[in-house]
Structure 1
Amino acid sequence: MQIRRFSVLLLLCVLLSIQPAFAFTSYDGEGDMEILQQIDDDVYAAGGNLQINSDINGDLVVTGGTITINGDISGDLIAAGGTIAIRGNIADDVRIAAGKLTISGNIGDDVIAGCGQIILEENATIGGDLTAGTDKAYLYGDVAGDVSGNFGNIILGGNVAGEVDVDTNKIQTLPDATIQGETITSTDRYAGQTESDENGYGFMDTVFWLLRYIMLLLTGWIILYLATNSIEDMTFHLTDKPIHKTIAGLLSLLGIVMGSIALTVTVIGIPLALLLFLILVFMLYCARIIAGLWLGKKLFELLGRTTTRWREMAVGIFILLLLGSIPYIGWIVYMVATLLSTGAIYYLLKEKVRHRPA
């Protein structure tokens, strides 16, 4: 069992070091998963081919190669995958990162998507705004709010109740399409840049922020599943001796970096240097996950509510990313959270080594 867990953690390190948007698509190999019974709770799933064929009374967070959602979701949908098809109804917001997204059902609120291709089929509806970055968009359904973002090519065939404010190479409006607000298009800026990007807070920043959140969230759930007791212990004692832990975290990170550099001097040491680098990446992710879980726990304590550690982590990581996005001081938040949590990891490992049987 210990070997199996170590193998999974090592694979996770490799995936995190590569840093693609869909790093966890192959986490469960080519395994398929199908949900057939109604679930009255939030659902977090990962696999090769995912079929959601029942209703979910909660949020759905999912990543996979091919994702098909046939049931209705009463909460939000957060998904990352190669091909995603939404055939059921989503009551709230949708956040998508995919190669191809097809929407056949009804979305209750906003949709934010970063995709190669988006298809909003006829009779499908989006109850709020559609904000997207995509090469091709075929919008045959209705959008109750605004349409904005970066579109290589866009075809409008349905009704847009708000404005159409897009950066696009080509926009085609079909005879049956109606746009009730103003239509604003631009090709003056380079691909992927919006006006607000010039100040660093544009649409693509939002997309990358969303992808970072999904990556951290999925990583956190996997690590929490594999090492629940250790993560809980580090979170509980995170603020004990904060100065000592911050210093320990700084020295630990510097030690790993210096060790990696020293090992690259020889050919034999390069594999060990790579291993240290993967450990460094893994520790940085763990540090943010521990800090996020701590923030989530504190928030729910202040609200006087009890909930699951999974929800605490989801909320806490969200807050951590928001704090880290604040201009000028965000990097300080990240630095303190990372060093303090890394120090907590160091102290836990030190304690385990000290009490290990001889």
Structure 2
Amino acid sequence: MLKVVRRFSRLCYLCILSSLWLIAAMMLSGKVPTASAATLSADDGPNPCTGAYHKPAFGSTVVVNSGEVICSNLTSFGSTVIIRGDVIGDVVAFGGDVVIAGDVDGNVMLYSGNVTLQDSAHVNGDIHLCGGRWLHGSDAQLHGSVIDCTHTVSKLVLGDGSLEFHFWSLLTWVALGVLLTSLLPEHVMLVRTTARNKLRRSLVLGMLSILLAPAILAVLVALIIPIPLAILIAIVLIAAWALGTISVGWLIGEYIVRIVSPQHNTRVLQVVVGLTVLVLAGSLPYIGWLVILGAGLLGLGAVFLSRFGTRLYSQPKQPLPM
């Protein structure tokens, strides 16, 4: 049994690591500075570019000042983007607002954020909104269309369509994760610590809970009288699954942010990144369900071991960071 659990946990880790490559592909696919801008500047005279963004921004305010010409795509996570100069490329923002008072020669794509076009704004491309809205001044110019993905489609497709990115699922999990970690940070922290320190035991307990729960609920429903108790148990299981999944997502996000952007290693960013990875990994064909199931079972077992995050199951090797 332990060998099976060990292999199962290793497979979950491999799936999570592979999803990191998918996020990198999502940020780079279609978001690499195009050769047309370089060719245009070379034919028309001196290169007007004054800079480029080769890495995404995490949690900080990104400002393109007046007179600057950025010849690259601009990608941000949880950041406010202010453009007063020129951007030759796409502007992509996850969980942040974009304010444009200059020129953007490319598309503007926002996921759970708002875009504001001031009177001096010129956008030569489309605006894609997923869970946000756009405001514009009377003199702002948009040479393209405003596409609301929440009204036209319920999912975003990456590449050739083999990976489905469910926007509403991501938005729900991220919102719930930020809410729980803000209101009950100690409880989520204790569940997360239990999942990390007692991985095998948490997985086994999560599996046993899922296997036994249907039988217990069926018996209670058959008895008729304890039906409210059966409903209560079902609600408790759903709440435990959600709390455990968010805790595992926070654990994954902490690892990723610590490696990718240690200078912006905040709790909110860890939760957003970790749950985004889980949702993306869960959208993988064939093995996506295995990732979600593994994370859920691990979190469920950790929730029960820590008694819903009210006690520390085992003494940590180092103080718990909040």
TM-score by length of 2: 0.53
Return the match for 2:268 from 310, 328, 341. Answer: 310
- Does the alignment pair 1:94 with 2:110? yes
CA drift at 1:324: 1.6
- Does the alignment pair 1:268 with 2:284? no
Instruction: Report the CA distance shift for 1:272/1:76 in structure 2 as closer, same or farther (over 3 A).
Output: same
Return the match for 1:335 from 290, 293, 297. Answer: 293
CA drift at 1:89: 4.5
CA drift at 1:120: 8.1
The Cα RMSD (Å) is 4.7
Instruction: Report the CA distance shift for 1:193/1:278 in structure 2 as closer, same or farther (over 3 A).
Output: closer
CA drift at 1:346: 1.4
Return the match for 2:192 from 222, 235, 246. Answer: 235
Amino acid at match of 1:338: G
SS of the equivalent of 2:300 reads helix
CA distance in 2, matches of 1:293, 1:266: 40
CA distance in 1, matches of 2:240, 2:173: 12
CA distance in 2, matches of 1:309, 1:327: 30
Please say if residues 118 and 134 of structure 1, whose CA atoms lie closer than 8 Å, have aligned partners that are also in contact: no
Amino acid at match of 1:311: L
Cα deviations by residue, 1:102-123 (Å, 9 ceiling, x for unpaired): 97656978744468x9998875
Cα deviations by residue, 1:60-118 (Å, 9 ceiling, x for unpaired): 69xxxxxxxxxx86494649xxxxxx996599642259xxx997656978744468x99
CA drift at 1:352: 5.1
Identity %: 19
- Does the alignment pair 1:347 with 2:305? yes
Please say if residues 154 and 168 of structure 2, whose CA atoms lie closer than 8 Å, have aligned partners that are also in contact: no
Amino acid at match of 1:344: A
Instruction: Report the CA distance shift for 1:321/1:298 in structure 2 as closer, same or farther (over 3 A).
Output: same
CA distance in 2, matches of 1:224, 1:288: 12
Name stretches of at least 5 consecutive residues in structure 2 with no aligned partner: 1-58, 62-75, 83-91, 314-322
SS of the equivalent of 2:307 reads helix
Please say if residues 250 and 275 of structure 2, whose CA atoms lie closer than 8 Å, have aligned partners that are also in contact: yes
CA distance in 1, matches of 2:143, 2:310: 52
Name stretches of at least 5 consecutive residues in structure 1 with no aligned partner: 1-40, 44-57, 62-71, 80-85, 136-149, 151-191
Higher strand share: 1
Please say if residues 94 and 110 of structure 1, whose CA atoms lie closer than 8 Å, have aligned partners that are also in contact: no
Q: Specify the alignment match of 1:139 in structure 2.
A: none
Cα deviations by residue, 1:195-253 (Å, 9 ceiling, x for unpaired): x79x9659xx54xx111111111111111122212212222342323222111011123
SS of the equivalent of 2:306 reads helix
CA drift at 1:132: 3.5
- Answer 1 or 2: higher relative contact order, Cα 8 Å, separation at least 6: 2
Instruction: Report the CA distance shift for 1:239/1:193 in structure 2 as closer, same or farther (over 3 A).
Output: closer
CA drift at 1:127: 8.7
Count, aligned residues: 222
TM-score by length of 1: 0.48
CA distance in 1, matches of 2:304, 2:93: 36
Instruction: Report the CA distance shift for 1:118/1:270 in structure 2 as closer, same or farther (over 3 A).
Output: farther
Higher helix share: 2
Superposition pairs for residues 195-206 of structure 1, below 5 Å? Answer: 205-206=164-165
